[in-house]
Amino acid sequence: MTTAPFFGYSRNALQRLFDWKIRGVRWIEIIGVALVAVMIVSVYAAKAAAARESSRIAELERDIRENRQRVRLLRAEVARLEQPARLENLSRQIGMAPVDVRRQADEAQLPHLKPAAAPASPAQPQAAAPSSAPSSAMSAGLFADDSSDEAAQ
């Protein structure tokens, strides 16, 4: 029986709380309207954020499509540049020729295969000199190492 007065008291307090009025309007109605307004604003903000994200996604998808197109074009360009007939034509234009597959040499023959350095004539441009210089410098360096290894043995 002690619980009955408690519920009666809390019911009275709760009833008084809901009946309290401010200038003729119940305060609970004011709070309800405020909550609805907050929900409307939050839904609008969420919708605006979703629209921004949607436009960002569309922009990224457009960038992806453009990059895929660029990759396709670059792959086509690489395929065109790597065509064996084109490379063979270019190599012939600059004086290169295929190496004979039967041409083999052992270590003893390597110094004899080294091309003799031709004196540069004034009619030849200096651009030709660097192409022969690295091969002769490289072969000289390789042979110097080989000869020191042979001398050590």
What is the pLDDT, as a whole number, of residue 105? 78
Q: Supply 16's token pair.
A: 């008084």
Residues sharing a CB contact under 8 Å with residue 149, sequence separation 6 or more, in sequence order: none
Write down the number of H helices and E strands in the chain.
5, 2
Q: Supply 119's token pair.
A: 């004196």
pLDDT digits (tens, 9 = 90+) for 7-64: 556 667 767 766 766 666 777 788 889 999 999 999 999 999 999 999 999 999 999 9
Question: Is pTM beyond 0.85 here?
Answer: no
Mean pLDDT of the chain: 76
What is the pLDDT, as a whole number, of residue 123? 57
Place of tokens 């919708």: 47
What is the pLDDT, as a whole number, of residue 97? 78
Q: Percentage of residues in the chain with pLDDT exceeding 90? A: 36
